[in-house]
């Protein structure tokens, strides 16, 4: 068990290797193995509808419920990570994700899909984002956005490699055996990787990376850091919540529905899966390039740029009919969303400090997951009403415009005054 007394302990000797890189590697691997199967839910959408005759809104609603629970429990998981450390939290959550997929393979009614995927997988997924982001923020002062971007690139790489693999699994074995395979892989790999996570550099006799380049007192907890209640009473807290809502809405609406949309346009299932994969692959570039830009120019500007790109690309998607146009959309959209995900945690750290980063980030990240829950369901509901995704994509573009507005008006907190 790791406590949170915040007492600075100088290292006894300069370590041969900085353990923070192990933390980054483990966090990266956890995101690779967990987010691929999760974000590939859209590949299972048509097979589930074909077997059971459910509507797109009801079927995608299981994913929406999962995202809502994932975000809501992120509050609890953030606090548990601050108190017990990420290793225990992520281990338990990895077990739940694997169990949820194994049970989803046995679904025969809608309520079972909502329970197994919506609830159990949602609870498990609550532990594969906030603990990793909070841990990286604690281990790195310098290059924090870049290291966060490397970790988040795990989601993009996962989205790059998982859809083609999963689409072929479904084609060869059908969707039930595919979920059994995914459940076993995610459970074992996540639990093993979680054992390498450590929350505090001081526990390893080390300092956060780059802290030697600032004043010695900066290595100690900053008394100006916000407690959760203090942060929640600021306008910046709720603006970040709204910004993440907008990004979550846009991202997950597309992740869940781009494959069914492409198939509606007579694109083959394999090529439709490749669109989703391409989006993830380009997201890697967004993670690295926009993360590096954020380290130099600030995280808020990356959000503004990202929302501009998202809004324009969603508007253009309503006119896309050919496969090359869908590929182009995936490149532009994936680049923007990859970069925006990179700067979430560093933005929160810059606004409110690190002493209570886990719980604060856990709560504002609910904004992302609420948006990510609303996006797929609303998109599916609009499709069921209109038999088309055009209006739904325009709604997504309107949400992107709101994101631009929220990011433009965001300013640093007066207490810390750190460039964001």
Which of the four pLDDT bands, split at 50, 70 and 90, describes residue 222? Answer: low
CATH architecture designation of domain 20-201+226-409: Up-down Bundle (1.20)
Q: How confident is the model at residue 219 (pLDDT cuts 50, 70, 90)?
A: very low
> Contact at 8 Å (CB) between 286 and 338?
yes
pLDDT in tens, 157-201: 888 899 899 999 999 999 999 999 999 999 999 999 999 988 778
**pTM: predicted TM-score of the whole model, two decimal places:** 0.76
The pLDDT of 65-70, averaged and rounded, is: 89
């Amino acid at each position: 068990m790791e406590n949170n007394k915040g007492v600075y302990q100088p290292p006894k000797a300069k370590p041969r290797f900085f353990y923070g890189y192990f933390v980054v590697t483990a966090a990266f691997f956890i995101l690779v193995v967990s987010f691929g199967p999760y974000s590939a839910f859209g590949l299972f959408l048509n097979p589930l509808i074909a077997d059971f005759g459910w509507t797109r809104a009801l079927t995608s609603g299981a994913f929406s419920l999962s995202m809502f629970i994932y975000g809501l429990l992120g509050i609890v998981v953030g606090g548990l990570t601050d108190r017990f450390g990420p290793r225990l939290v992520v281990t338990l959550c990895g077990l739940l994700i694997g169990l949820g997929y194994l049970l989803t393979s046995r679904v025969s009614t809608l309520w079972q899909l909502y329970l197994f995927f919506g609830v159990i997988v949602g609870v498990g997924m609550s532990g594969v984002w906030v603990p990793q982001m909070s841990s990286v923020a604690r281990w790195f002062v310098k290059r924090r956005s870049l290291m966060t971007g490397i970790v988040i690139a795990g989601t993009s790489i996962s989205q790059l490699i998982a859809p083609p693999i999963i689409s072929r699994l479904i084609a060869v074995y059908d969707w039930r055996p595919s979920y059994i395979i995914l459940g076993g892989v995610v459970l074992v790999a996540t639990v093993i990787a979680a054992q390498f996570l450590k929350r505090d550099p001081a526990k390893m006799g080390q300092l956060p990376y780059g802290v030697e380049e600032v004043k010695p007192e900066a290595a100690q907890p900053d008394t100006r850091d916000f407690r959760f209640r203090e942060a929640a009473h600021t306008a910046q807290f709720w603006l970040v919540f709204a910004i993440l809502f907008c990004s979550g809405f846009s991202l997950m609406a597309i992740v869940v529905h781009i494959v069914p949309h492409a198939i509606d346009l007579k694109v083959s299932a394999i090529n439709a899966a490749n669109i989703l994969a391409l989006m993830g692959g380009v997201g890697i570039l967004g993670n690295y390039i926009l993360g590096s830009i954020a380290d130099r120019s600030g995280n808020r500007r990356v959000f503004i740029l990202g929302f501009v790109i998202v809004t324009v690309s969603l508007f253009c998607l309503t006119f896309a009919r050919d496969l090359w146009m869908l590929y182009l959309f995936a490149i532009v959209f994936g680049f923007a969303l990859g970069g925006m995900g990179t700067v979430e945690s560093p933005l929160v750290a810059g606004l409110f400090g690190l002493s209570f980063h886990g719980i604060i980030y856990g709560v504002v990240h609910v904004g992302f997951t609420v948006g990510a829950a609303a996006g797929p369901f609303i998109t599916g509901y609009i499709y069921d009403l209109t038999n088309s995704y055009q209006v739904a994509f325009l709604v997504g573009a309107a949400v992107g415009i709101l994101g631009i507005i929220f990011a433009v008006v965001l300013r640093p907190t007066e207490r810390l005054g750190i460039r964001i």
